[in-house]
Amino acid sequence: MNKNYKEWLNKGWLFFTVAVLFLWAKTYYGLKTAFTLDIENSIQQFILIITPISSILFFLGLAFFFSPKRRNKAFMTIYFLLSFVLYANVVYFRFFNDFITLPVLMQYKNFLDLGGSAKSLMHPMDLLYWVDFAILLIWLLRSKAKPALAFRKRTIGMIYAAVIGIAAVNLNLAEQERPELLVRTFDRAKLVKLLGIYNYHIYDSVMTAKTSSSRVFADSNELTEVLNYVNSKQGQAGVNGEYFGKAEGKNVVLVSLESTQNFVINRKMNGQEITPFLNDLIDDSFYFSNFYHNTGQGKTSDSEFIIDNSLYGLSRGAVFTTNANNEYNATPEIIKEHGYTPVSLHGNHDSFWNRNTMYKTLGYDHFYSKEEYHVTDENSVNYGLKDIPFFEQSMPMIKGLDKPYYAKFITMTNHYPYVTNNENMEMIEPAETGDGSVDRYFQTVRYMDESVKKFFEMMKEQGEYEDTIFILYGDHYGISENHNRAMSEILGKEIRPFEHVQLQKVPLIIHIPGMEGKEMTTVGGQIDLKPTILNLLGIDENNDVQFGTDLFSEDREDKTILRDGSVVTDKYVYAAEAELCYDKETGEEIDGEACAPLKQEAQTELNYSDKVVNGDLLRFLESETEKTEE
């Protein structure tokens, strides 16, 4: 063996080269098999091949700056972290069809409570993401030479020159494939496809830092600009319409229907109704059949935030976690000034989604959480307390509240992976698509429907029903794009971008005892619930920042904006991720020019809402109101 070759081995060149190849190979494998990246041409395929290289060299190269004694340990630590980042995204993507952001990592406490959900997302083949780490670790431990990666400064310089060169080529090709890529932060799939998973996280960290600085540099002039926008929008919708004050003085009960999409309403599975109680209830209620969720990564917490504030959740992370100490003008705080007792009830830990902090910020008087319920192995499943015992144990709490009250019930049995733990919960046969999550989904939806039925019965028995309005809403989608094959079988049609947007419909049922209901076809979303509730209660909140409009207003524009930038109107559906425009009635793809104004308006409105949240602009609201009055 010649001298140069021995030196190459002894200095760790072979070890370093193999490590880079291992990490590149499994990263490319993950990008190709674990994520839905829609490679459109050979250039994008080439980009996918080279994207991991620059970031792998950059991060592994950092080990060279440690002392020789610590270099091996540093190298393996970095290697482990890169492997973990890749694998964490693989598991996260399986359910959320999305990529992890830094704000999401701030919600790490949530993952401690995932239980069966997390286990169901892990597959035996996932060992492929860790076998290389085991091989390298054994190599280091058994190697007599104990590679210390003793590279000369010139060699290290060459490695980082390669990093810069490859990164420059990558970015240039990415910009050619997607102009303005780095300003389209909501499209994380394209960022990963064209920048790579590790470069995406570098970019995400920069954006997080930029967002964090927004509050420091914000001023009241930004709020004035937002107020001008929302006031013009509210003016177009009219005020104090036909239903203003129709529920004045009544209790308000909101029921969050976990993961419930609108397609289950009035649908049968194996000849049985999936939601028999809700189907009957809509005949005697205001049923909004064109109602969409507006949530992002915050899922259930986003829906809560949107409904209480008429502000959008953030494009990255969850407001409940990232901006819990902001100043808000939320519904609980507003109605408390009108004599209401606002509370929330949920059979999970009070710290999940940081609710114990955020609820205080929003103005809730009390949060009845898992600690105040009797939870056992028999009456719990998946995330916690089953829906039927949840409602049963909640009744004494409701009965003891000062009236009128504003009470939000958050169900959770119908949560991924949609499991049951006894035959009593299985009130309908599962579907038979071969996709376990989709097949079981209908069973847990049916159980949830039964729990709501029992809740209404108990409200009547305890004399709470007549003086209460009930608002039942789906919080977010239950079945992601990862299950399109099974959903195509359920719906009997291909899931195109048009159908994907339509699947973001969730139920909204407003039941007011004594009032005749009807189907409402106006296009709206969760963003519209705050002004709708306040108007029903006869509360006129002037000079407020809310992006929604009263769903009962005859003058409101039939439109809602989804968090990903998609827009639905009574005429068009703009699917943002695919950048396609459709006729809403026929589902036919049409010229994109028809949706161009909608695309622009969505970007404007979402940016304004993000400014309010990231800049904590509502802390200036009182001073702005005083200026207006003067």
- Contact between 373 and 393 under an 8 Å Cβ cutoff? The reply is yes
Residue whose C-alpha is closest to residue 613's, from 343, 350, 306, 359: 306
Query: How deeply is 418 buried, as exposed, middle or buried, from its count of CB atoms within 10 A (0-12, 13-18, 19+)?
Result: buried
Query: How deeply is 219 buried, as exposed, middle or buried, from its count of CB atoms within 10 A (0-12, 13-18, 19+)?
Result: exposed
Q: Which amino acid is at 212?
A: S
Q: 587: phi > 0 → left, psi -120 to 50 → alpha, else beta; which?
A: left
At what angle are helices 188-195 and 42-61 packed, to 10 degrees? 80
Residue whose C-alpha is closest to residue 401's, from 353, 467, 352, 351: 467
Find the distance separating the first CA and the last CA of the chain, reported in whole Å: 89
Residue with tokens 């041409």: 41
Q: What are the CA-CA distances from residue 599 to residues 246, 524, 573, 593 (Å)?
A: 36, 17, 10, 10
Task: Give the Cα separation of 573 and 589 in Å (integer).
Answer: 9
Q: Mark whether 300 is an active-site residue.
A: yes
Task: Give the Cα separation of 499 and 573 in Å (integer).
Answer: 10
Strands (E), 149-191: none
Residue whose C-alpha is closest to residue 481's, from 93, 185, 41, 193: 93
Strands 286-288 and 508-511: antiparallel
- Contact between 335 and 537 under an 8 Å Cβ cutoff? The reply is yes
Instruction: Please tell me which residue in 51, 208, 295, 300 is annotated as part of the active site.
Output: 300
Residue whose C-alpha is closest to residue 189's, from 292, 106, 100: 100
- Contact between 261 and 488 under an 8 Å Cβ cutoff? The reply is no
* Residues designated as active site: 300
